[in-house]
Structure 1
Amino acid sequence: MYRMTLSNIPEERFDKLRNEISDYENIKDRIFTGIEDYEKILYQKKKILKYLNATEEDYNNYHWQIKNRFTSAEGISKIIDLSETDLKYINEVASKYRFAVSPYYLSLIDPQNSDCAIKKQAIPAVEELNDLGELDPMDEKGTAIHDIITRRYPDRLIIKITNVCGMFCRFCQRRRHIGETDKVVPRAKIQTAIEYVRENREIRDVLITGGDAFLVSDEMIEWMLKELRAIPHVEIIRFGTRTPVTLPQRITKNLVDILKKYHPIFVNTHFNHPREITPESKIACEMLADAGIPLGNQMVLLNGVNNDKYVVRKLNLKLLTIRVKPYYIFHPKTVKGTSHFWVKIEEGLEIMESLRGRTSGLAIPTYIINGPKGLGKTPIMPNYLLCLGKDKASFRNWQGEYFEVENFGADA
């Protein structure tokens, strides 16, 4: 067998590189994606189909998924084991904060893992009754225009079109909008928002969100896109959606065909854990990518879910294999009822430190702290610049090695 040798580079150099990721290599196979643990997910799916007296055709229909979301502790107890105490607390929390879980997302819960990251995101916990935090820590109300617009930046804004979600995440920053019934914003109110965009020529980027932006009708989505594309200064239209994660059945051929008529369209989705990467979510993301739609992922850093450097690395690497670019890691917001998910900033910085150099830049998102009261997204990262002088700058690299570079401009 032919073996290439590099006589000028000592083998110790490559051994050192291998050792940099040996810890991850040793543990990665114990962090399951939904694809790797799909047999268990299929078993749960069969239980759900039997309980709901449903067919495979039903299950693959997103309208059926929405109509049959689990909204009671008693229903969930038919699929995963819940103690009497669990039932009591879920009902107590549900009387204060609405919850709903799509049959699909419920199937992802590992019934043999009491610490399951999917369960923590989907099922109410007694800690939600804690009153720490605020209902609107980002002061979206204070930066709202015409009720459904949030504007914090010079050239872009958000239009919130619905409160409907495939699953109401227990850490949701907009839980104050969930209410008790599903609502889509009336077309007349959305038209007012579009007119605001039309009248303000500096707006070049519009983000459509909710709730979940894809949980309005195809007709509504096409109407909005047609209206926005008729505005000459609107260059980019983005959708914020968690449907590829919680309701991948929503990504239909008809929806994709609509979206690709109005390029450039961007979609940001919201995977928080490798177990959410399933054959179904893979198909949904690839359908969007095949239509020329760039996909980004906005992970929220959550205690007990993904505040682990190995979990985040596996998530980001596997996202790339389904053509989703890790875009942001959001530090958790101090929303009332979510304090059990909060983490310290040091944990996020440690995760960012563990990624740099140990995987490709494609797998490294930006770590974001949202300034309170609408002060906006602020990126933070480990400090690699140690000193910046007039003629020289000092740095450390990802391995902690020190180096200097000359700091001269063209007019030096």
Structure 2
Amino acid sequence: MGASAYESERAEERREERKTVRQVGDLVDRGLADRSEREVLERVAERFSVAITPDLVDLVTPGDPADPIGLQFLPSKRELRILPEERVDPIGDDPHTPVKGITHRYPDRLLLKPVHVCPAYCRFCFRREKVGPGSEVLSSDELAAALAYVRRHEQVWEVILSGGDPLILPPRKLAEITRAIAAIDHVKVLRVHTRVPVMDPGRITAELVEALRGRTTAWIVLHTNHPRELSPRAREAIARLVDAGIPLLSQTVLLRGVNDDAKTLEALFRELVVLRVKPYYLHHGDLAVGTGHFRTSIEDGQAIARTLRRELSGIAQPTYVLDIPGGYGKVPIGPSYLGPEGEDGRRVVEDPAGREHVYPPRGGDGR
């Protein structure tokens, strides 16, 4: 083989290596799945979409069953274990969908879901029955109808782009949507929920950033669950957004085996603040089908939240929340530090170190 032919072959091999992996057979060939489990994993992939981007593959330690990146994105036979309490629509999107592409659960804000595709698929996704290749993208008419719904409802102050991952859209299409939202006078805030900066950071281009900027104030909410997701490329993508004047929040899902210990979450939240991303939500795991192996108990989550309250700066504290099944919304479920009011009007309050105090204190200095 000549030198030029060899270089051409190697270049093709490198291109293949940088493709998103979507087939169980390819996962096996790359050492990302056990060959002996191929048949059962094919059954998992028949029901739940599989995709892992090259950037995520680079972060996985092959052969390590406890790898926190692999656990999030590589299919597992445990996904075929369906528990009675699990639901296809665990947070109740469907009852609050008046128009295709819209979920309107709260009076002043709603979700607009233009696409149900993601660069990679989380194994714990609460919309896992609805996302994946072949899932619907809103047609021009459907998007127009969704935007018309927003225009008719003047109480809507905030539009949240979700999906799927809206930042998988081409920048030109994304710009069309953001311009249309900016033209609605009563919408003052555009929020974008995404994992693209960690899943596929190369998508955060100058053109995409420009598509997000406009008359409407834009916020990005970055979903990230483990400090190892914050690769050098992810950090650069985050910086491109923040440097463009777009504020970032983060949301994290509490996942057994991935981040269900205070030290891991402390490291994640500290690093996010360094990157100018404010931790926003720590979600209790939803009752999505086939995800029971990821869920912790609420008591364990509260114990972790209590430790974080003791150890972390206030600006690094997310709110621990539960999305009530059936579409009833999110509520904070963190630990309580305040006891009931006594007959004397005083309460017992616990400080972050676990010590109890009476409030108001007895024998104060007041005159």
Normalised TM-score (structure 1): 0.81
Instruction: Provide the alpha-carbon RMSD of the alignment.
Output: 2.0
CA contact (8 A) 2:201 2:233 kept: yes
Shift in Å at residue 72 of structure 1?
A: 1.2
Partner of 1:109: 60
1:4-403 paired onto structure 2 within 5 Å: 53-54=13-14, 68-80=19-31, 82-111=33-62, 113-132=64-83, 133-181=86-134, 183-389=136-342, 391-403=345-357
Partner of 1:405: 359
Superposed CA offset, 1:338-368 (max 9, x none): 1111110011101111111312011110000
Q: Tell me which moved more, 178-187 or 279-288.
A: 178-187
Over 3 Å counting, the alpha-carbon distance change for 1:78 and 1:228 in structure 2 is same
Superposed CA offset, 1:221-255 (max 9, x none): 11111111111110110111110111111110111
Distance 2:257 2:156 in 1: 39
| Equivalent position SS for 1:373 | coil
CA contact (8 A) 2:194 2:220 kept: yes
CA contact (8 A) 1:90 1:123 kept: no
CA contact (8 A) 1:387 1:395 kept: no
Distance 1:262 1:254 in 2: 17
| Equivalent position SS for 1:214 | helix
Equivalent position amino acid for 1:101 in 2: I
Superposed CA offset, 1:174-213 (max 9, x none): 1111254254211221111111111111000100111001
Distance 2:254 2:192 in 1: 21
Equivalent position amino acid for 1:221 in 2: L
Over 3 Å counting, the alpha-carbon distance change for 1:81 and 1:215 in structure 2 is closer
Equivalent position amino acid for 1:333 in 2: D
CA contact (8 A) 2:117 2:132 kept: no
Count of matched residue positions in the alignment of Structure 1 and Structure 2 = 350
CA contact (8 A) 1:123 1:170 kept: yes
Shift in Å at residue 305 of structure 1?
A: 0.9
Over 3 Å counting, the alpha-carbon distance change for 1:50 and 1:360 in structure 2 is farther
Shift in Å at residue 380 of structure 1?
A: 1.5
CA contact (8 A) 2:117 2:133 kept: no
Q: Tell me which moved more, 325-334 or 259-268.
A: 259-268
Shift in Å at residue 93 of structure 1?
A: 0.8
Over 3 Å counting, the alpha-carbon distance change for 1:81 and 1:155 in structure 2 is closer
Shift in Å at residue 113 of structure 1?
A: 2.5
Superposed CA offset, 1:126-166 (max 9, x none): 11111221111222111112121111111110011111101
Over 3 Å counting, the alpha-carbon distance change for 1:144 and 1:84 in structure 2 is same
CA contact (8 A) 2:45 2:75 kept: yes
Shift in Å at residue 112 of structure 1?
A: 5.2
Shift in Å at residue 263 of structure 1?
A: 4.2
Superposed CA offset, 1:243-276 (max 9, x none): 0111111110111122223441000011111110
Over 3 Å counting, the alpha-carbon distance change for 1:223 and 1:373 in structure 2 is same
CA contact (8 A) 2:226 2:259 kept: yes
CA contact (8 A) 2:252 2:281 kept: yes
Distance 2:133 2:169 in 1: 17
Distance 2:308 2:10 in 1: 43
Q: Tell me which moved more, 179-188 or 395-404.
A: 179-188
Distance 1:89 1:394 in 2: 54
Over 3 Å counting, the alpha-carbon distance change for 1:359 and 1:81 in structure 2 is closer
Distance 2:172 2:265 in 1: 37
